[in-house]
């Protein structure tokens, strides 16, 4: 997951766009114009070709590009997260901030133990963990808004009364009306039961994500441990994305036809 976000960029493009490189070309062009000779421009062009052949292959340059891109990506992600937090309740924001502090502490601890590339991958893994946590918080907020305030016992009592009325009624039109009312009540009961199941799943997965950071931090203290990003990916894979659960909520409220009554 983190590897995908840090996929290899076009180092040739960044070597050409580097400000030092552009300044050199511009300076060579100015010298050529000032002295009315193409020699400075030819020398600059030669140096440019040499740089484009060698620069993108240099580990130091590649590392510098990777760090710049990673920093920019993480900054954009943090800006988006801060904007999203404004839509959550204070309790959810506090819970998310607690997880973020734990993630920051883990990232700091990793700096002294891991090579630069693994630190970058770990930072992206921690970002993905926090974004997944945020997804589940938003899903929980959505599910809470869909919960029927009517107690299930009251709905079941109403369904029982409608069932008795349907059995006693003999007029066809009246039976059809009662049947539709009964189906609507039964559907509400089933929806609330399904939503309760989703709520339990969300709560479980949020707890798993909260436990993931201290669990991974404990592994970091083990001698020879270097695969922090891989460990984070494993934790995320165990929890899974919130999207399938989001789709299941949509399915709960999908329109379906009335059932059959005897």
Note whether residue 254 is domain-resident: yes
Note whether residue 19 is domain-resident: yes
For residue 54, is pLDDT > 50? yes
Q: Residues 104, 19: one domain?
A: no
The residue-averaged pLDDT of 231-253 equals 92
Q: Residues 92, 77: one domain?
A: no
User: Which stretches of the chain are assigned E, i.e. beta strand?
Assistant: none
**Alpha carbons 106 and 129: distance in angstroms, whole number:** 12
Q: Residues 122, 204: one domain?
A: yes
Q: How confident is the model at residue 66 (pLDDT cuts 50, 70, 90)?
A: low
Of 49, 246, 32, the C-alpha closest to 146 is: 246
Q: Residues 93, 18: one domain?
A: no
For residue 262, is pLDDT > 60? no
Most confidently modeled range among 49-53, 118-122, 197-201 = 197-201
pLDDT of residue 225: 79
pLDDT of residue 65: 63
Domain that holds residue 214: 88-149+199-262
For residue 6, is pLDDT > 60? no
What angle do the packed helices 243-252 and 172-220 form, to 10 degrees? Answer: 170
Q: Residues 62, 132: one domain?
A: no
Q: Residues 82, 92: one domain?
A: no
Q: Residues 80, 97: one domain?
A: no
Q: How confident is the model at residue 210 (pLDDT cuts 50, 70, 90)?
A: very high
Q: Residues 74, 114: one domain?
A: no
Q: Residues 99, 70: one domain?
A: no
Number of domains in the chain: 2
Single out the residue in 87, 103, 130 at which a domain terminates: 87
The residue-averaged pLDDT of 74-92 equals 90
For residue 227, is pLDDT > 60? yes
pLDDT of residue 175: 87
pLDDT of residue 1: 43
C-beta of residue 17 within 8 angstroms of C-beta of residue 23 = no
pLDDT of residue 257: 47
**Alpha carbons 71 and 120: distance in angstroms, whole number:** 9
Q: Residues 120, 10: one domain?
A: no
Q: Residues 42, 55: one domain?
A: yes
C-beta of residue 40 within 8 angstroms of C-beta of residue 31 = yes
pLDDT of residue 159: 87
For residue 201, is pLDDT > 90? yes
Average pLDDT of every residue of the chain: 81
pTM recorded for the entire structure: 0.72
The residue-averaged pLDDT of 134-163 equals 91
Kindly report, residue by residue over 155-190, the tens digit of the pLDDT.
889 889 888 888 888 888 988 998 898 888 888 898
Q: Residues 92, 81: one domain?
A: no
Q: Is 55 or 121 the better-scoring residue by pLDDT?
A: 121
**Alpha carbons 69 and 78: distance in angstroms, whole number:** 14
């Amino acid at each position: 997951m983190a590897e995908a976000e840090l996929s290899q960029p076009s180092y040739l493009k960044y070597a050409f766009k580097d400000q030092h490189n552009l300044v050199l070309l511009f300076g060579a062009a100015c010298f050529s114009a000032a002295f009315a000779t193409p020699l400075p421009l030819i020398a600059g062009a030669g140096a440019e070709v040499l740089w484009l052949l060698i620069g993108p292959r240099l580990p130091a340059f590649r590392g510098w590009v990777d760090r710049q891109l990673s920093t920019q990506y993480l900054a954009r992600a943090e800006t988006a997260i801060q904007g999203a937090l404004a839509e959550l309740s204070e309790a959810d924001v506090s819970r998310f901030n607690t997880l973020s502090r734990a993630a920051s502490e883990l990232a700091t601890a990793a700096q002294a133990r891991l090579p630069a590339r693994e630190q970058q991958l770990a930072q992206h893994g921690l970002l993905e963990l926090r974004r997944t946590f945020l997804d589940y918080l938003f899903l929980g907020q959505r599910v809470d808004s869909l919960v029927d305030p009517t107690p299930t016992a009251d709905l079941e009592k109403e369904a029982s009364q409608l069932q008795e009325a349907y059995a006693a009624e003999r007029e066809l039109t009246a039976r059809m009306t009662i049947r539709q009312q009964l189906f609507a009540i039964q559907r509400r009961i089933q929806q609330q039961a399904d939503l309760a199941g989703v709520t339990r799943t969300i709560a479980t997965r949020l707890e798993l994500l909260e436990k993931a950071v201290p669990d991974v931090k404990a592994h970091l203290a083990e001698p020879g441990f270097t695969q922090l990003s891989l460990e984070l990916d494993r934790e995320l894979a165990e929890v899974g994305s919130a999207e399938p659960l989001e789709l299941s909520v949509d399915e709960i409220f999908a329109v379906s036809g009335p059932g059959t009554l005897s």
